[in-house]
Structure 1
Amino acid sequence: MRVIFTGGGTGGHIYPIMAIIDRLKQQKIASNDEILFVGTKKGLEAKIVPAAGVNFTTIDIQGFNRKHLLKNFTTVNLFIKATKRAKKILTAFKPDVVVGTGGYVSGALVYAAAKMHIPTMIHESNSVVGVANKFLGHYVDKICYTFDDAATQFAEKEKLVKTGNPRSQQILNLHSPQIDLQKELQLNPKISTVLVFGGSRGALAINRVMLKSLMKLKNKPYQIIWVTGTFYFAKVKEKLQNIEYGDNIKILSYIQNMPALLPEMACVVSRSGATSIAEFTALGVPAILIPSPNVTHNHQMKNALDLEKAGAALVISEADLNPNSFISSIDHILLDEKYATEMSAASKKLGVPDAADEVIKVMQEISR
């Protein structure tokens, strides 16, 4: 099977594709030469995809500007040019199916493929459907989704297929040896551990509440791995010179192999991007979610509230985030074994262990 994947800008658009690609290769459905990822030069995909050894090419495009409408003349012009470039890529590669996960680059490529009568499908990993996917829903053959709320936002009900997020299956199938907490991080493997993580660069609000909470956390009967993110690590270290904190708190800038650490965690504190949610629901790890307010259509809050409604997470908005709400939420999970067990079970119900296989099944059904 020859496949073109497209999506860009954020990890939520990229990691589901990488999970599908891994599974296609494992099952020998498509070789590396039969797979092409189309993204942008500026997006996160330009680093992640080539580094993984996946064939990669780019299209020049930009999103609509809601504040400066006159700039959208350039956007429309770029979209027209991007569609022409997409048609050249499609003609040269001759895919059996084209799969988009969101981002403006997918809008141009999947639209062009549909107009050329090439089988097309999209995958929506968030609760709130992105602009590109909402536009493409009119043209594609199938729409795969993760959250039930996303399905309500598409008018094309006959195209919908609930698959879950392919990243869930990838996490479950990873065979990396788990991180030895005692040997590698000098922590006690016999007590519960919380992971506080704001993304690879970090999250200012999460780092601030951790700094304010250190004095109260040092006497807790659990331990914390605080990953500040690479952008904030030096600033956090500087502030720590005037703060005493306990041996039960380990502070790192970044963790290279997060999937190897997650199975050891009793609880995760994080943002609520689709990729993060797919990772800890796959393993059934209870979560405290602090959604980023700086995302399109506030979709992280919607993702988080869906998990909270299912009993798999506690949600704290940035407006309500303070040491009391933060620490009491951790205590609620780690100091109540029955509650933690119920949360873990609810989380596992949301993780789809064969999500990548389900997406591939749809790809095979519509491919020419």
Structure 2
Amino acid sequence: MNKTKPKILLSGGGTGGHIFPAVAIADALKHKYPDAEILFVGAKGRMEMERVPQAGYNIKGLWISGFQRKLDKRNLAFPFKLISSLLGARKIIKCFKPEVAIGTGGYASGPTLYMASRKGVPTLILEQNSYPGITNRLLSKTVDTVCVAYPGMEKYFDKNKLVVTGSPIRVQISRSNITKKEARDFFHLDHKKPTMLVIGGSQGALGINRAVSAIIKQLCELGLQILWQTGIDSFGESEKLVNDNKLSDCVFVHKFIMRMEMAYAAGDFVVSRAGAIALAEIVQLEKPAIFIPLPTAAEDHQTKNAMSLVDGGAALILNEKEAPNKLLPLVNHFMLDEDKKSELIRNIRDFKTPDATKAIVDQVVKLLKR
């Protein structure tokens, strides 16, 4: 290995939950090795092909998509895409000659990490959820190191490969010193109103958007202002709802918020899905939160993710079906009650972990030294 210029391959995409950890790891490795060559591999047509270059890194795309678990004609193309992606990954690895390969999940990470391990490249995967996806379960049999966010993952992975690191979060968030005033100026928010931040993940969340839409007038009547990331699919409908009801001075709708460190600083509390990255960021920033887990997540892992906080009195949880009726009372009775909100903040501090990104980078360094 060139000690100052290691060649590092990263693959993670499909959603922000896979992309942002990969970028956080890349940023930390670039800080440690300023002259490192870093290349990402993603899936053509997916959001990583846009987000990774925005973060300052090169990316190559593979023709790959997920396998639909229900009967679906899209599955007819899956075998051809899989073969194409394996050949594409092999070509990238042959040309780039990485000294380590890192996978954070997503369609492209499967063929990329599989081919890297087949070619003898030291490999590491990150599993951030309490229940691993099938790709990581398969990859874990061939990779060298498996980093996980939660203890007790020995039931899914070889304990000799397992390292509990926590979930990495973006350095812009983990090291942010942005004030509430600066953040509210950035989004043109009122400095005095309690602010509810609504985030459904990088792609939005239809269930959360419906729940918020159902009570949007009542939320404004409580004196709140809402900073709302809807995702692309719900943006037009949500924006129309706000304009038709003349709520533009109370509700601020965005398709996607690039400056999440600003959004977290602006918000007094958060309504969110319970993906691993959202949890890690909310805990790190000590934000009171109401989690509405994705009901279709594999093995209901988002509920399991959130319950660790809920059981510790550090967060609240709502079933998606109940959210339209129960979200407003929770906001009113907990998030607008300073004593109850302060208790959530005190309790969430017990769940803060050491720097997960550094812990993962330490494992990468070990692989580079092999």
**TM-score, with normalisation over the residues of structure 1?**
0.87
Matches within 5 A, 1:16-165: 16-27=21-32, 29-31=33-35, 34-68=37-71, 74-148=77-151, 151-165=153-167
Shift in CA distance, 183/166, structure 1 to aligned 2, threshold 3 Å: closer
Larger mean CA deviation between 277-286 and 339-348 belongs to 339-348
Deviation at 1:359, TM superposition (A): 0.4
Match of 1:274 among 273, 276, 280: 276
Query: Matched residues, percent identical?
Result: 36
Deviation at 1:252, TM superposition (A): 2.1
Give the conservation status (yes or no) of the 8 Å contact 1:178–1:261. no
1:14 aligns with 2:19: yes
User: What is the total number of aligned residue pairs between the two structures?
Assistant: 363
Aligned to 1:363: 364
C-alpha deviations, 1:129-169, integer Å up to 9, x for none?
Answer: 111101011111111011336x1442301111111111165
Deviation at 1:203, TM superposition (A): 3.0
Deviation at 1:172, TM superposition (A): 1.5
2:16 corresponds to which letter in structure 1? G
1:87 corresponds to which letter in structure 2? R
Give the conservation status (yes or no) of the 8 Å contact 1:219–1:246. no
Larger mean CA deviation between 203-212 and 307-316 belongs to 203-212
Larger mean CA deviation between 166-175 and 126-135 belongs to 166-175
* Structure 2: runs of 5+ lacking an equivalent: 1-5
Deviation at 1:176, TM superposition (A): 5.3
Match of 1:265 among 258, 264, 267: 267
1:329 corresponds to which letter in structure 2? L
Match of 1:292 among 286, 291, 294: 294
Deviation at 1:199, TM superposition (A): 4.1
SS at match of 1:306: helix
Counterparts of 1:287 and 1:165 in 2: how far apart (Å)? 18
Matches within 5 A, 1:155-234: 155-167=157-169, 169-174=171-176, 180=182, 183-184=185-186, 187-190=189-192, 192-199=194-201, 201-220=203-222, 222-234=224-236
Counterparts of 1:178 and 1:83 in 2: how far apart (Å)? 47
Cα RMSD (Å) of the superposition?
2.8
Shift in CA distance, 303/62, structure 1 to aligned 2, threshold 3 Å: same
2:95 corresponds to which letter in structure 1? A
Give the conservation status (yes or no) of the 8 Å contact 1:144–1:160. yes
Counterparts of 1:283 and 1:237 in 2: how far apart (Å)? 28
1:14 corresponds to which letter in structure 2? I
SS at match of 1:252: strand
Aligned to 2:238: 236
Deviation at 1:293, TM superposition (A): 2.6
Deviation at 1:89, TM superposition (A): 1.9
Larger mean CA deviation between 86-95 and 201-210 belongs to 201-210
Aligned to 2:3: none
Give the conservation status (yes or no) of the 8 Å contact 1:283–1:348. no
Counterparts of 1:312 and 1:252 in 2: how far apart (Å)? 27
* Structure 1: runs of 5+ lacking an equivalent: none
Counterparts of 1:53 and 1:243 in 2: how far apart (Å)? 40
Shift in CA distance, 253/163, structure 1 to aligned 2, threshold 3 Å: same
Aligned to 2:253: 252
1:4 aligns with 2:6: no
